[in-house]
Amino acid sequence: MITREQLASCLKAKTLPSLPLTVVALGEAVQDDRCTVDRILAILSKDPPLSAALLRLANSALYAGEGSVADLRTAVLRLGFDAIANLGTGAGVIRTLRSGTHLDAVRLWQHSVAVGLTAKGICKLARRHGQVETAFLSGLLHDIGKIALDTWFPEAYQAVLNRVAEGSFFVDAERDLLGLDHAEAGAILAADWHFPDTIVDVIRDHHDPKPGDFLPNLIHLSDLLVRTRIPMGPADDRLAFSIESLPAFKEVLAGALEKDLDVERLTFSIDDELDHAMAFVELAFQA
């Protein structure tokens, strides 16, 4: 069994790299009401690989508007500060945690980005426009605890992966064999990296969201929907549910909107997000 004290010791020993300074600076900049385009560009100028990845993302099918984007200034103006910061954070985190010891990191990040993009789309349907970018980043980060545990405790996590290969869900195998799960480990890592409390709480609660907590329920719902398309193990191959019966669905898309929602169209739209997720991860790995 792994204790929380052992997790704290791993963080203290810096067995995982810190977030790139560019990512930290972008996050701080967008929280400043006086932030300017020139300030964002000055931060990005210190990280050419990340800047190049952001420019490619701005020109990808995921974000491209009318015409191509030839420079970062145009990309920042088109996408906005929050989107640029979140794309930069996503690319930076993937670059930092691009491999575990035993995990298939590419598949994990494809899944995570797809969850973020799906959450962003559902957030718009729920008319929570002010939370769209937080939804994306929360979804992208929700499984970072898996790579942390795989890196910190490789032998113990190999046993988890073996149990998953035999048909258990990740969270059940982790709790049974380790005494804690990737949600708790991810929340501890996110707090150490100074992510906002809102995102830390979503990472911690995404498997057990509380009634009334919109974002944890949103990520829980998005995670289930994506796992039916990008299975993380044999148990996900057998994952079946009626979306309307899920408590998280009722929490996220409650009331009159739920009655008017084309559920079949919603589920089919997730397939488009999978293609976008593949492209995002490919570009982020190049950063």
3-state SS string over 2-36?
CCHHHHHHHHHCCCCCCCCHHHHHHHHHHCCCCCC
How many other C-beta atoms are found inside a 10 Å radius of the C-beta of residue 28?
13
d(CA 53, CA 22) in angstroms, rounded, equals 13
Asked whether 120 and 100 are in contact (CB, 8 A), the reply is: no
pLDDT at residue 207, as a whole number: 97
Burial class (CB in 10 A: 0-12, 13-18, 19+), 208: exposed
Query: According to the model, what pLDDT value does residue 171 have?
Result: 97
The pLDDT value recorded for residue 38 is 95
Predicted TM-score (pTM) of the model is 0.89
Residue 119: HSE in the Cβ half-sphere, 13 Å Cα cutoff: 32
Cα–Cα dist 243/220, whole Å: 12
Q: How far apart are CA 248 and CA 258, in angstroms?
A: 12
Residue partners of 144: CB distance under 8 A and separation at least 6: 93, 97, 112, 182, 186, 189, 190, 203
Tell me what pLDDT residue 256 has: 42
Instruction: Give the C-alpha separation, 51 to 57, whole Å.
Output: 10
What structural domains and CATH numbers belong to the chain? 4-14+101-286 (1.10.3210.10), 17-96 (no CATH)
pLDDT, tens digit only, all 287 positions of the chain: 898 889 888 887 777 878 888 888 998 998 899 999 999 999 999 988 888 888 888 887 677 665 688 889 988 888 889 888 888 888 889 888 887 789 999 999 999 999 999 999 899 888 888 899 899 999 999 999 999 999 999 999 999 999 999 999 999 999 999 999 999 999 999 999 889 999 999 999 999 999 999 999 999 999 999 999 889 999 999 998 888 889 999 899 875 455 566 777 777 778 878 888 888 888 787 76
